Structure 1
Amino acid sequence: MIRWVYAVIERPAGQLDAATAFWSAVTGTHRLHRDDADDWLEVREGDGGARLRFACDDVPALVAAAIRLGATTTVEPHVLRSPAGLAFEVTHWEGETRLLPAGASSHLDQVCLDVALTAYPSELDFWGELTGWQLQSFPPQFHRLVRPQGIPVQILLQCTDDGSTKAHLDIASADAEGDRRRHEALGATLVQDFPEWITMRDPAAGIYCLTRRNPRD
């Protein structure tokens, strides 16, 4: 059973300090830690995207289930790849339960899995079966895994037409334009403004989105 989900921010080795400083500032944390909530974010060396880390009661059982569903192992212990190649981790649950206090106007609460069209159906099946969470459809190109109460990070799957499969971070924002300006002052840059989200690039060159979802709802 999945007890907790982390959003892992992956950035090049030379950009880890810049990434940590930026994401600490925009999430209101001290080096991604808070005294009033359990950790739900990490920054580590990687290719500039994001990955999920699942904390569970029985690591071998979840790893075995993932492999039965089509995941493959890697050289890193308990790091696997989905059928389309998305890396994720499985670790032992250490008792994390404390969510952020309610009331923030923005919150990093989602990892979006951008999946190539040809792999999208199999990825929907894989992630739905692995988590056991209900799939919620948002035509024409999105599905969300409805996270159980008490889980800090939800999973969105987006069908892309560029042939690539990757992952990025999403921030729910009650004032996306105001947050865009605040993030730009911290070193981020605008990539493109869409009706339902704003695509940004952080100071470590990682892509993320400010989504027009009110975290207070």
Structure 2
Amino acid sequence: MPPTWITAFLDFPTGSWENGVRFWRDVTASGLSPVRGADGEFATLLPATGEPFLRVQRTGADRPGIHLDLHGAEDHWEVRTSPGGFVFCVNVPAGGERPPPQAWPGRHTSLVDQVCLDIPPDAYDAECAYWADLTGWELAPTSAPYMRQLVRPAGMPLRILLQRRDEGSGPVTAHLDIATTDREAEVARHVALGAVVDGGGARWTRMLDPVGMVYCLTDRDPVTGLLP
């Protein structure tokens, strides 16, 4: 069954939980739900309007990371691992209205709208096939030969991009992408909140948040998710 909703979890080690949550609340202009879980390890980032699709988790890991929950793919909660070693969850159905982009001073907008799976070369084809089969979404090319995308259904909060690493092995990892109408202004806003620039290209800037989480700011349209 195709997912009805996708949630991205930002997983923070215990020592970086407060700073990580504070930064991502500021970046997305979100509220924070009450914590839940046996040890108060879960919370939800609450947008001003629309259904939440970003959550935070305190973990015992050494470094921050990302995982996904695919809602509606099954009628129960279950942890799974992709062929390339990416751990994610299938969960009960969920859904609602996708939150709109957030407007900032200077009138540019931005929105967390994509999860990029970073895949070792030898796992790339199998991983692309796996995610296309799991979601039921069309696997399509992009303007870059080392990237493919899954065509997101209308109303889904997150796109899935599959990026082939230049080299290396090990498990598939993931990072968030933020679409914005003014990347220069968005970079400056994030730096003022404590992030640092860590590289980039013609259409994107790689960032590190204050606790070392990698993410990217891109020139894609925050509404459509596509390049102008």
TM-score, normalising length: structure 2: 0.83
Matches within 5 A, 1:102-181: 104=103, 105-138=109-142, 139-164=144-169, 165-181=172-188
How much does 1:35 deviate? 4.4
1:55 correspondence with 2:84:
no
In 1, Cα distance between the equivalents of 2:214 and 2:102? 26
Percent identity of equivalent pairs: 38
Segment drifting more, 101-110 vs 166-175: 101-110
What one-letter code is carried by the residue in structure 2 that aligns with 1:121? Answer: D
CA spacing shift, 1:213–1:83, aligned 2, 3 Å: same
Q: Which has the higher contact order (CA 8 A, sep 6+)?
A: 1
Contact 2:28 2:102 in 1 (8 A): no
**Aligned-residue CA RMSD in angstroms?**
1.6
Structure 1 unmatched runs, 5+ = 61-76
In 1, Cα distance between the equivalents of 2:185 and 2:216? 14
1:6 correspondence with 2:2:
no
Greater helix percent: which structure? 1
- Corresponding residue number in structure 2 for 1:17: 18
Contact 1:53 1:91 in 2 (8 A): yes
What one-letter code is carried by the residue in structure 2 that aligns with 1:26? Answer: V
Contact 2:101 2:110 in 1 (8 A): no
In 2, Cα distance between the equivalents of 1:199 and 1:212? 12
Contact 1:170 1:209 in 2 (8 A): yes
